[in-house]
Structure 1
Amino acid sequence: MAVEILLPQTTPTAQRDRVTRWFAHDGDTVREGEPLFALESGNNTIAAPASGVLKINASSDASYEVGTVLGYID
């Protein structure tokens, strides 16, 4: 079953954030806990929530609402 990768709320007032970099590419195998992508706010690095094959739905250097599904790990 695929695990959704959601844009997290990194501050109490955050409504949106910008994905500045993906550390893996679409179709790569990732491991739970390894760095997955970086956010503009506070230079936050977000870890993979599961292990499996990455499917990216969101571009880097783009802004999204908190809770947006950025991709999946299957």
Structure 2
Amino acid sequence: MRSSLAVVGSALFARAIGEFIRYFKLGQPVPARARTDHPCRRGAALVKEFLGHTRMNRWGVVGVAHWLHR
């Protein structure tokens, strides 16, 4: 029983990974070195966004609800 659940779970996981890959391939190609410039500035922006949820705060009521959601 456990082995069949593991097989089903692995198959569903592999399918989900495949769907992610297909979704990501829909995007436009990025020029070489377009996202590797200014690593310190990009890293600081990432940390600021991750810890401060700055994008979420721009959404007004949705941002406030996000902060209050538990």
* Larger helix percent: 2
Could you tell me the TM-score, scaled by structure 2's length? Answer: 0.16
Could you tell me the TM-score, scaled by structure 1's length? Answer: 0.15
